[in-house]
Chain A
Amino acid sequence: MEVLVKKEVEVEQLHEVGKPVPRVDAREKTDGKARYINDYKFDRMLYARVFRSTKAHAKIKRLDISKALALPGVVAVVTAKDIPGKNIVPVVFNDRPLYAEEKVRYIGEAIATVVAISPEIAEKALKLIEVEYEDLPAVYDPVEAMKSEAPKIHDKGNVFVTYRIRKGDIQKGFEEADVIIEKEFKTKHQEHAYLEPQGAIVVPNADGSITVYGSMQCPYYVQNAISMLLGIPRNKVRVVQAVTGGAFGGKEDVPSWVAGEAAIAAYVTQRPVKIIYDREEDLMTTSKRHPSVIRYKMGLKKDGTIVAIKVEYILNAGAYSTLSPPVLFRGTMHVAGPYKVPNVWVDSYAVATNTVPNGAYRGFGTPQVIFAHEAMIDEAAYKLGIDPAEIRLKNALETGDETASGQVLKESVGIKETIKKAIQLSNWSEKRKRYSEMTSGTKRRGIGISSIIYGVSLGAAGKILDGSGASVQITPDGRVLVLVGTTEMGQGMRTVLSQIAAEALGVPTDYIYLPEPDTIAVPDSGPTVASRATFMSGNAILDAISIIKPVMLKIAADMLGVSENEVDVADGKFFVKDKPSKSVLFEDVAKEGYLRRERLAAMGWYKAPPTFMDENGLGDVYFTYSFATHIAEVEVDMETGKVNVIDYYAVHDSGKIINPVLAEGQVQGGVAQGIGYALTEDLVLKDGRILNPNFTDYLIPSTMDVPEIKVSFVEAKDPRGPYGAKGLGEPCLMPAAAAVANAIRNATGVRLTELPMTSERVYKALKEAGKAK
């Protein structure tokens, strides 16, 4: 497989990969036929609604479901007592119950589920459930929660997990510095706002097995959860992904409990149960990006060389640990950005509070630290009188350099090229000069840059999940069925993996059918997160094809009357290399293969390259890295604090781009989410209660908020990636908020250190600096 990939990367004679092949699932999404989970119905299906805590921290003294159960049309009301297996939604530490039993720890925590013959009746029955609480002292702020006198949310204490990095000699590093900058940053929640709310249908089968259909990123997480909750083995839990209407991390672990809520009800009633969250419920109770506090100290030489960083990174984990450990790991490992820093000291914490548990969101703990490190290096540039792009180029990693964790980068480091290309495309120097001359009137314009590094796939903290499978079979008519364990959620995975399979087999992409995953098709392939699907499933497909392809070449050679090494395949034809006109169709070779009863199907597997970390946070923590540089231009209204992003450039190194049109759209969408994170998305909590759980008051960008985003790629290929690809999904969003903040700094001279940079917050900062009009 390695040989096959390498050869084709070198000669670059690609027929399908790198081409703007139309999205394979676009048609059914434009004509309205695509079936999302709420579009499915089953005979005798019941509808579930969840009864939830109204208290942030309390003991449950009494729970009475009798009145709800008596309502005509209600079939069951299930609580923790009805769970046949363990009352656990497994993630990392397994501390989150499906249903609160003795205690509730956040507003919105599930206590019971009503199942009825209609969603309306189920909703009505929720109001008939009686619960009596005894209030406990609560804590909502992670810094408060770390104090010894803070109310204890869990017996073990409020700090769920810590990480650290100790590289070099931090004291000596700062002694060598000519300038030292220190700042504290704060960031708030971000809601995924996938437009399709969470939902699942659980169907109990006659043989005791269970089938789950749902909107999700991680079918094997759901399989594991249902197995644990119901106490049945995983081979009897089948999970089928429905067409999924956006996810962005929000459907990583959450579907495990959404499906779990329906599964207990389906088990108790022995009927199919559908659960669909409404938007308010979804916004109130599902995971979000972690709010954070970041204390950052950076030391530099006069020439702009960074010599040391000392960082404390505190995440508000919410009431249960869920995905906080890997989120904190990733954030910690990305704390230095794409820069060489010889001396690094980091302490990071994920801390329990009585708020909704936070989890995965595109970037996974990195947009927060990027907001900080990109502000720090920008401030250093201003202080030292160096162009912000120049100081980044000066410190940017190159092949042979060490990352913050002491990992030597052996290849595929495109960060400098992204910076150079972004500067050139945006006309950086000319605009900086022009905008600096805008000093009259009430509007100011500015331009800001932000650069990032991104460790592809799960890394040292998640490596036990980092293997993926793929099943490839050539059907007797010469078409190809490819089954994978990673999911499509709009990012274009089905298309990109189809292109990879097509390229490797030498057929047009439309010969391939690659549907959404079903756990009966391939073994546990890990989660569809961490920008890993192209790399992991792509390599698993290549592994399967490396078994099938020689068989087909042999058959084709026989049919052509030549030896195997004289034959190649492209565009659906096997041909003699020296005489391409002498050829035989792919379908005829497939047909002949079946007549000969040869093996034309294989299960492929790909195990991620090794990663490791020691007790000082040092090691090869990810197996490859993507890079990006974004440049934002803003106009700031000095009278109101309103910020408009007026222009935007995004340059990415994700290795080989498999489909340039899909990649461009993915970047634009990521930038739009990043602009929302930067400016408008402001989730307001009071005493643990979310006050704006709707799109009227939680503002995601509309067309009017998003500029024309220009996207470009540099391709520093990783030879281990399929055709040299790395990962793209998350890097699209990660630099955006920092780029906008740096543009505001350039426009106004004022550094915003809190996200989101709403008009109110910007105006206040301008006023404090004496710059508001």
Chain B
Amino acid sequence: MKIKLTINGRPIERDVDPEMRLLDFIRNELGITSVKDGCGIGVCGVCTVLIDGKPRQSCITKMKSVDGKDIITVEGLGTPNKLHLLQELFIKHDAVQCGFCTPAMILVGYALVRDNPNVTREQIKKGISRVLCRCTGYIPIVNAIEEYAKLMRGEKTS
């Protein structure tokens, strides 16, 4: 089928297999490899992208369901020369170890704060529970997102 979508602000028109996984389309057809394949059944969350702003697991999303949608991957947050603030905060808080969950964690954190700048620490924890991390114990990830929310609210941080 013919589909139209935007990815990281770029309009794309392609003829695709409607049953193809969005994950495979993004990785293999578009060559965007920040979106990872961790479990293939929508549980680990490392394949998460934003579809019309909402975090969705691209490994269980078929191409037929994304016609006309706006898709964001971690490449769509910063610019090639400048990281997005949340990415910088992930580095500052050492919220990155092996890095395999990091792009997904950043997207989920970004969406959480965009939807609710007053998001609490507990809400951040609940919000990112859709992505698994085996390295960090989550604490630095939560710290990074919490500081991002504070900065978005105009509060000062250290």
Contact = CB atoms under 8 A, between A and B. Distances in A.
Interface stretch (B40-48, B62-70, B148-156): B40-48
A340 B101 CA distance: 43
Nearest to B82: A31
B142 interface: yes
Interface in A440-492: 489-492
B55 to A, nearest CB: 14
Contact of B132 (A26, A702, A709): A702
Q: Is the interface of A mostly helix, strand, loop or mixed?
A: loop
B97 A665 contact: yes
Nearest to B139: A668
Nearest to A488: B98
Given A195-B132, A696-B43, A30 B90 contact: yes
B135 A30 contact: no
A669 B40 contact: no
Interface string A163-205: 0000000000000000000000000000011111100000000
B22 interface: no
Nearest to A282: B39
A26 B90 contact: yes
B33 A23 contact: no
Contact of B139 (A195, A695, A708): A708
Interface string A19-63: 000110111111111111011000000000000000000000000
**Size range of the chain A interface in the assembly:** 35 or more
A11 interface: no
A560 to B, nearest CB: 38
A489 B98 contact: yes
Contacts of A490: 97-99, 135
B91 A703 contact: no
Interface stretch (A239-247, A326-334, A608-616): A239-247
A703 B94 CA distance: 17
A34 B99 contact: yes
A694 B43 contact: yes
Interface residues of B, number: 46
Q: Is the interface of B mostly helix, strand, loop or mixed?
A: loop
A195 B102 contact: no
Nearest to A28: B99
A36 to B, nearest CB: 7
A662 interface: yes
A35 B101 CA distance: 13
B31 to A, nearest CB: 9
Nearest to B90: A30
A26 to B, nearest CB: 4
A595 interface: no
A165 to B, nearest CB: 34
A234 to B, nearest CB: 28
A195 B96 contact: no
A694 B39 CA distance: 7
Contact of B38 (A34, A196, A491): A196
A695 B74 contact: no
A703 B126 contact: yes
A414 B100 CA distance: 35
B75 A196 contact: no
Interface string B93-133: 01011111111001000000000000000000110110011
B75 A32 contact: yes
A748 interface: no
A279 B27 CA distance: 18
B134 interface: yes
A700 interface: yes
Contacts of A23: 91, 94, 96
Q: Which 4 A-B pairs have the closest CB atoms?
A: A32-B34, A490-B98, A29-B99, A245-B100
10 contacts: A27-B91, A31-B83, A32-B32, A36-B100, A195-B100, A196-B36, A665-B136, A695-B132, A704-B125, A709-B139
Interface of B: 27, 32-34, 36-41, 43-44, 46, 73-75, 78, 83, 87, 90-92, 94, 96-103, 106, 125-126, 128-129, 132-140, 142
